[in-house]
Amino acid sequence: MTLAQPPVLSDLAQALCGALVLLVPLAGAGLALMNSGLGRSRSAAHAMLAPVCVMAVAVLVYGVCGWSWQSFPGRPAHSFELAGKSWNWIAAEPFFLRGLAYDGSPAALAAWLQMFSVALAAMIPLGAGSERWRLGASCASAALLAGWTYPLFAHWVWGGGWLAQLGLLDAGGSGAVQAVGGLTALSIAWILGPRQGKYDADGMPAAFPGHNAVLVLFACFLTWLGWIGLNGAGSLLLNGGGAASLPRVAIDTTLSAAAGVLSSAALTRIRFGRPDASLCANGWTGGLVASSAACAWIAPAAAAAIGAIAGVLVTFSVEWLDTRWRVDDPAGSISVHAAGGLWGLLALAIFAPVPRENPWLGQLAGVATLVVFVLPMTYGLNWLLNRFYPQRVAADGEPHGLDLYELGAGAYPEFVTRRDDFRPR
Amino acid sequence: MTLAQPPVLSDLAQALCGALVLLVPLAGAGLALMNSGLGRSRSAAHAMLAPVCVMAVAVLVYGVCGWSWQSFPGRPAHSFELAGKSWNWIAAEPFFLRGLAYDGSPAALAAWLQMFSVALAAMIPLGAGSERWRLGASCASAALLAGWTYPLFAHWVWGGGWLAQLGLLDAGGSGAVQAVGGLTALSIAWILGPRQGKYDADGMPAAFPGHNAVLVLFACFLTWLGWIGLNGAGSLLLNGGGAASLPRVAIDTTLSAAAGVLSSAALTRIRFGRPDASLCANGWTGGLVASSAACAWIAPAAAAAIGAIAGVLVTFSVEWLDTRWRVDDPAGSISVHAAGGLWGLLALAIFAPVPRENPWLGQLAGVATLVVFVLPMTYGLNWLLNRFYPQRVAADGEPHGLDLYELGAGAYPEFVTRRDDFRPR
Amino acid sequence: MTLAQPPVLSDLAQALCGALVLLVPLAGAGLALMNSGLGRSRSAAHAMLAPVCVMAVAVLVYGVCGWSWQSFPGRPAHSFELAGKSWNWIAAEPFFLRGLAYDGSPAALAAWLQMFSVALAAMIPLGAGSERWRLGASCASAALLAGWTYPLFAHWVWGGGWLAQLGLLDAGGSGAVQAVGGLTALSIAWILGPRQGKYDADGMPAAFPGHNAVLVLFACFLTWLGWIGLNGAGSLLLNGGGAASLPRVAIDTTLSAAAGVLSSAALTRIRFGRPDASLCANGWTGGLVASSAACAWIAPAAAAAIGAIAGVLVTFSVEWLDTRWRVDDPAGSISVHAAGGLWGLLALAIFAPVPRENPWLGQLAGVATLVVFVLPMTYGLNWLLNRFYPQRVAADGEPHGLDLYELGAGAYPEFVTRRDDFRPR
């Protein structure tokens, strides 16, 4: 199932692939609305302009050089020798997408899908850096992700690289898209530090409620579609799943999200007496994220189990980051995409009935690589960037909100808002 | 055209089917935004969280047992003998979707489409129960709909059941999706009773204007796409329409919605001096709902006529429910989905040039079954549920809005709102 | 590549075509949100109801007679003789779409695509007439556009007409959809005149900030998808592009939009010290508009260049219209769709490596026809309409906003807004 050679796609699979890739931008639209709605109104326009600019930077940089390092199975790549075996570690495509032939070969479809996926991955850190990350710096950080971090790891998983050779499976990108984005979100939250007023002198967190729950929950519908796009296209194009497997992918993705939102709702109701709307949105998205790796191979009931566990995991992760580890992640991006994504990779080893020699080897190698290699690398790159180009807005600008400070105009100039929304939890 | 055996789908039809099913969630997104926007801001987050949770419950329950009762033509089912003929009344699939093979057979596509359709049907009653229906109860009610009511009736129409044997045609679900949801909405409105303050001592209704007309009208675009998905996929997969008929379905669906909104606009302008934005949204959706049954077979001009009549019907129905029958349906769900759906079933008999022995028999049987069997059944199930698990929020919680009372947080914590929006009409 | 005969579409191309046309309404949804968000809250519901009504009128009128004049290559048409050659100038289809056969022939797909495209074109002038254009008049104007102006020019470009015979290429409608809509927007802005208070006695413009930047920027995601639909379907169906070219179209469209938003952001930052969120949205859409003509044939780097230039052009155009030429275009429709569209037509001659005798002839003929024929015609038709049916709301109604004046209810009845938002720039 791991591809050493490009798949041969039937016409039906190509048509479905096209239709699925077309949905991927809706995942980005959903994340953007969630990030904006979960932040405060004073930074709401910034929280929507940033994803547009970040995805613009990401697709351009990916077009310039990102695809060159990632590429597709069966195309030119560099390898090294270890333990008597040749390990493929980076692709060698020409820059500017000049190597693509638009002749119906799957490589062009893959480049298109990956361009949209990298735009999504680049948006994930915005949720963690919300209300304090400079627009210019977030664009520069997106360039690093889209130009290097993402394509390198994605080559290892989907480009015929060494993780694929070890047997890692990741149908829709729990690891290659979500965890890469989520671990970058963690790095950004560490580098930026918490928002002003988030923690008092004793380290007690204040709750900054999101300014628009309607947009946050509406976004659940968009992420649903976007993830079916990601998971379906990934399954067909990057994993050799046939067209007949699409209903399975769509049903599994849906059931995982459904179980995620319900387990978040039940858990927050048990613990706080009432379901929490923003954690429900996180549970929903966490279910989607966790479904990505395994959705092409598992039974519907297994998908529901993966999603239910993801909902619990995300809910606790949000709370612990906020109160124990004092990592300020306004939109829950780290919990949803990093925790959810790593869980998705492992869940495949538990639930997928794939007849393989050692189903755990590839998955564990993937998780380990993400944690001990990708996280330090993405942290290091963003730390370096921060040296040369400070990523956080000036301290005196933050209280005004990023809209006024960075864009010179608020998102809602006519609406009367109150600013005393700091409530200790 | 009524299927006793599963259709044989060309690759083209399968690919289009996939693309169309992918649009169906947008219909749900549209209904959610309409319900939230047509309610008051104090319950806006609840009105968005409820559809997410309800669709989660619906897809899970449908996956557990709903599909087992519904299934697809040509698969195991139970029949009874009457008048010397064998009548198919319920399917006999294994639970947990275990009977599905992902081998390109249309049954898997149908299960996927129906899982998304049942999620939509389960959202319809939320519009009628808005601002007073408990979240937990709406989820329990959705389980009844998705686990029993919907699959039973849908089996009769689309699973080779007795209504199909009588000749009922319903391409996209005017009856099987919309009227089933709309009649459940009516039951819920009856069981819950009107919102506090809706009717004064003399039974005069107060107008509670929706809090966000922009979202309501934006939703028209989403329902447009979602309905093309429903109608197109239903036509291909459940009615044996060939791929070549898709442009007809899409054009007819569009013209019906267009005529619906314009007839609502003209009618409200004639009667009240000005077009009413929320009734226009209802007219639009009513046109979509009414188009569903016949869209696969009629001429464009007939589709426009069906939609124009639906717009008039929905407009009067909203008014009469509100002022004459004192049924409080904040989002117009009963008028749009029940009235519009029943009209759609009948409209097929009037307009469709289908060469059949008795074009009215099946359609009238379908309408009669919905009114004299499905309505009492769905009312009874929800009445029983209400016995064990009261569906309405506590009287002292309602004035605060469902957001604060059930979720503990408002949808728009920073925006200053006024609460004196009760205006006698 | 210019079609004299209808293309023969593979099954794969037909399936992709269907999936792509299904996205086109999202372009309309995006424009509607942009127009509403860039206007003031007092007209926000009107700004959303108008596009719904306008597209309803457009699709109905197009179904009645528009398609009859436009049609498709290889179908009945009228010609005149000039310079010893026969020039095709108008189609001769029966009214009410009666000539369409739903047999898989591309004409039915083209009618469907064009019905959605004309709905989009008819929405474009709404952005220029925002906050002062009567709803009824905008519907009447849409009928003129959809019933005559659009189909006539589109026949010349895509129906085998004389511009196609001269070699004009326009894959997705930079000219035939966008510039036609944009030049009509210019006519409307001229006929209506600026909003009250927009220019003081010295002709200095006041800035009326849009009321909701979140919706404006969210709309960028929707237009992205909608344009891939327009460009992809146009490429396949109206230009004989094979299915294999879809990744190219999607990548080029995306890179053009990305470069457009970044060049707008950079330019506004250089000139005003800060990126301007609404101009960024205009730059994004301008990049999409400019990509439409050439996206099927150019290299990714060329697409980025076209978009970057479009972003600059749109930014200056918005400023010059506002301050130099005193044309009040609240949503930037003229700049985005007329300037962006004309630039797109020319850009094809510069960048497309199409082996043709005279690559400039067709493109210049198209631009010239738009400016010296279509603009006067659409101005004249709307001027005539204005004679019989005044297009501007009454002067005493405008300060209240179109929501209260034309619809009798505000978009946000519960939210407290301030009305002192007139700031001199």
Which of A10, A17, A52, A98 to substitute to test the interface with C, most C CBs within 10 Å?
A52
Helices B44-61 and A213-238 meet at what angle, rounded to 10? 30
CB C361 within 8 A of CB C209: no
- The answer, for B207 touching chain C at a CB cutoff of 8 Å, is no
Chain A stretch 146-205, residues whose beta carbon is closer than 8 A to a beta carbon of chain B:
none
* Contact check, Cβ <8 Å, A211/B415: yes
Question: How far separated are the first and last CA of chain C, in Å rounded?
Answer: 48
The pTM score is 0.97
The pLDDT tens digits along chain B (425 residues) read 455 678 889 999 999 999 999 999 999 999 999 999 999 999 999 999 999 999 999 999 999 999 999 999 999 999 999 988 999 999 999 999 999 999 888 999 999 999 999 999 999 999 999 999 999 999 999 999 999 999 999 999 999 999 999 999 999 999 999 999 999 999 999 999 999 999 999 999 999 999 999 999 999 999 999 999 999 999 999 998 889 999 999 999 999 999 999 999 999 999 999 999 999 999 999 999 999 999 999 999 999 999 999 999 999 999 999 999 999 999 999 999 999 999 999 999 999 886 667 789 999 999 999 999 999 999 999 999 999 999 999 999 999 999 999 999 999 999 999 875 444 43
Task: Characterize the bridge pairing of strands A206-207 and A85-91.
Answer: unpaired
Distance from CA of B152 to the nearest CA of C (A): 31
Distance, CA of A379 to CA of C194 (rounded, Å): 52
- The answer, for B45 touching chain A at a CB cutoff of 8 Å, is yes
Distance from CA of C42 to the nearest CA of A (A): 10
Which of C212, C214, C403 to substitute to test the interface with A, most A CBs within 10 Å?
C214
**Quick one: which H or E segment has residue C229?**
helix C213-238
* Contact check, Cβ <8 Å, C53/B280: yes
Which residues in chain B are contacts of C48 at CB distance < 8 A? 213-214, 217-218, 277
How far does Cα A190 stand from its chain's mean position? 18
A415 vs C254, C259, C415: nearest CB? C415
Which residues in chain A are contacts of C418 at CB distance < 8 A? 414, 416
DSSP H helical ranges for A208-245 = 213-238
Which of A12, A14, A49, A55 to substitute to test the interface with C, most C CBs within 10 Å?
A49
- The answer, for C221 touching chain A at a CB cutoff of 8 Å, is yes
**Quick one: which H or E segment has residue B274?**
none
| The two structure tokens encoding residue B46 | 């609840």
Question: How far separated are the first and last CA of chain A, in Å rounded?
Answer: 48
Other beta carbons less than 10 A from residue C423's beta carbon: 11
Which of A414, A415, A417, A418 to substitute to test the interface with C, most C CBs within 10 Å?
A414
Amino acid at A270: I
- The answer, for C207 touching chain A at a CB cutoff of 8 Å, is no
C251 vs A44, A112, A412: nearest CB? A112
pLDDT of C355 over the 80 cut: no
Which residues in chain B are contacts of C12 at CB distance < 8 A? 15
Other beta carbons less than 10 A from residue A94's beta carbon: 12
Which residues in chain A are contacts of C37 at CB distance < 8 A? none
* Contact check, Cβ <8 Å, C412/B212: yes
Distance, CA of B104 to CA of A244 (rounded, Å): 4
- Angle ∠(B193,B369,B172) on CA atoms, nearest 5: 90
Which residues in chain B are contacts of C417 at CB distance < 8 A? none
A63 vs C10, C229, C255: nearest CB? C255
Q: Tell me the pLDDT tens digit for each residue of A95-139.
A: 999 999 998 889 999 999 999 999 999 999 999 999 999 999 999
Per run of 10 residues, the mean pLDDT along chain A (length 425 residues) is 73 95 97 97 97 98 97 93 91 94 92 98 98 97 98 96 94 97 98 96 93 98 98 94 93 98 97 96 98 96 98 97 96 98 97 78 96 98 97 94 95 88 42
Q: What is the pLDDT of residue C425?
A: 38
Chain C stretch 230-269, residues whose beta carbon is closer than 8 A to a beta carbon of chain A:
242-248, 250-251, 254-255, 257-259, 261-262, 265
* Contact check, Cβ <8 Å, C14/B19: no
Q: Tell me the pLDDT tens digit for each residue of C394-414.
A: 999 999 999 999 999 999 999
- The answer, for A297 touching chain B at a CB cutoff of 8 Å, is no
pLDDT of C1 over the 60 cut: no
Mean pLDDT of all residues belonging to chain C: 94
- The answer, for C303 touching chain A at a CB cutoff of 8 Å, is no
**Quick one: which H or E segment has residue C299?**
none
pLDDT of C290 over the 80 cut: yes
Strands (E), B210-264: none
Q: What is the pLDDT of residue B425?
A: 38
- The answer, for B11 touching chain C at a CB cutoff of 8 Å, is yes
- The answer, for C142 touching chain B at a CB cutoff of 8 Å, is no
Which of C9, C26, C42, C220 to substitute to test the interface with A, most A CBs within 10 Å?
C220
Instruction: From residue B358, give the alpha-carbon distance in Å to each of B1, B168, B169, B361, B365.
Output: 14, 10, 12, 6, 12
- The answer, for A422 touching chain B at a CB cutoff of 8 Å, is no
Q: What is the pLDDT of residue A157?
A: 96
Q: What is the pLDDT of residue C421?
A: 46
Three-state SS across A146-189? HHHHHHHHHHHHHCCCHHHHHCCCCCCCHHHHHHHHHHHHHHHH
* Contact check, Cβ <8 Å, C416/B418: yes
ipTM of predicted complex = 0.96
CB A122 within 8 A of CB A181: yes
Distance from CA of B339 to the nearest CA of A (A): 27
Chains that touch A (3 or more CB pairs under 8 A): B, C
Distance from CA of A229 to the nearest CA of B (A): 9
Give Rg (Cα) of chain A.
20
Q: Would residue B205 be called left, alpha or beta, if left means φ above 0 and alpha means ψ between -120 and 50 degrees?
A: beta
